[in-house]
Amino acid sequence: MREMQHDSSTIAWNALGDEWFELAQTGESRICFIMPHMLRLMGDVAGKRILDLGCGEGGYSRELAKRGASIVAVDCSVKAIEYAISLAEKENLPIDHYVRNSNDLFGIASEQFDIVLCSMMLMDCEDFDGTLREAYRVLKPGGRLFASVLHPCFDGNKETGIGREGVGESRYAVVMNYFEPKEWEAPLHKGTIPVIWRHRTLEDYVKAFLRAGFTIVDLNEPRATEEQAASSVALSFLRRIPLYLYWELKK
Ligand SMILES: C[S@@+](CC[C@H](N)C(=O)[O-])C[C@H]1O[C@@H](n2cnc3c(N)ncnc32)[C@H](O)[C@@H]1O
């Protein structure tokens, strides 16, 4: 039986486990902003075959399955996949799960998906070109890759590169170095166990997408609505500065 080949991203995320599941399911930005925006962009998914690549605790997979899509969910973290399976079973959702490094989706056939979803994972994986090559391979001709990432112009390593200062209405983004650092270790927001973070510039993203053969269809920098901004300080910042970037690519 062939086994997943580890690299720095898969090792870091396998160490995380429960802490991440808790954060994912309670984090305001993810629940109230990042996830609803992605689901809106993906539109009507009924009858579509979707690969949720870097599925984590499986929140997108379950929601997309409830909306009538047929889902394959992949993550490098054994604990994440075990957790995602347990929640899918609890809700009786027929989702196929695999533990894989995103750069080698062995056992997953080519040209079968209408959509590959990479929610907040392209900035984590070490082998970016390999991940895009595999996403491209498993998509049907004309299939779409939907991806969200931390906006590389406004989020990064606060100590040396890109971050935020101040509180509340006087919070602002600081860019000291757009090009460095390219990677660093730090816990997730409100977490304790470090993962490896990777900064990819806009140019890095675009050139890698084109190298893999994708066409860029759309790019979105979602802005919080006035209603969202009024509901919390974190979301009110998103009324002024986009911290997330969404891509739609076509095979
Ligand atoms: C920030 S989490 C996002 C999880 C989920 N997509 C979401 O939006 O809630 C990043 C996920 O990517 C996974 N991941 C990181 N590197 C990976 C790799 N090389 N191959 C597969 N999964 C990877 C992690 O285990 C983690 O579950």
Q: What is the mean pLDDT of residues 193-204?
A: 95
DSSP state of 137: H
Q: Is 61 in the pocket of ligand 1 (CB under 6 A)?
A: no
Residue 59 Cβ contacting ligand 1 at under 6 Å: yes
What is the model's pLDDT at position 50? 99
Average pLDDT, the chain: 95
**Confidence (pLDDT) at 209:** 98
List the chain domain ranges. Answer: 8-152+200-250
Residues 6 or more apart whose Cβ sits within 8 Å of residue 181: 156, 157, 160, 161, 199
Determine how many CB atoms are found less than 10 A away from the CB of residue 218. Answer: 12
Q: Is the Cβ–Cβ distance between 17 and 192 less than 8 Å?
A: no
Q: How far is the CA of 55 from the centre of ligand 1 (A)?
A: 6
pLDDT at 1 over 80: no
CA 192 to ligand 1 centroid distance, Å? 17
Residues 6+ apart with CB under 8 A from 96: 71, 72, 73
Mean pLDDT of 81-103: 98
Task: Provide the CATH topology of domain 8-152+200-250.
Answer: Rossmann fold (3.40.50)
Find the 100 Cα to ligand 1 centroid distance in Å. 11
Question: pLDDT by residue (tens digit) across 14-56?
Answer: 998 788 888 889 889 999 999 999 999 999 999 999 999 999 9
CB 25 within 8 A of CB 112: no
Express each pLDDT in 45-82 by its tens digit: 999 999 999 999 999 999 999 999 999 999 999 999 99
Q: For a pLDDT cut of 70, what percent of the chain falls above it?
A: 100
Query: Which amino acid residue places its CA nearest to atom 3 of ligand 1?
Result: 120
- Give nearest CA residue, ligand 1 atom 4: 56
How far is ligand 1, taken at its centre, from the CA of residue 180, in Å?
Answer: 22
Mean pLDDT of 174-187: 95
Q: What is the pLDDT of residue 5?
A: 97
**What's the pLDDT band for 192 if we cut at 50, 70, 90?**
confident
**What per-residue confidence (pLDDT) applies to 24?**
87
Mean pLDDT throughout 195-208? 97
Local confidence band at 196 (pLDDT 50, 70, 90 cut-offs): very high
Predicted confidence (pLDDT) per residue in 111-169, tens digit = 999 999 999 999 999 999 999 999 999 999 999 999 999 999 999 998 889 999 998 88
Give the residue, by CA position, lying nearest to ligand 1 atom 11.
54
Q: How far is CA 43 from the centre of its chain?
A: 18
SS3 51: strand
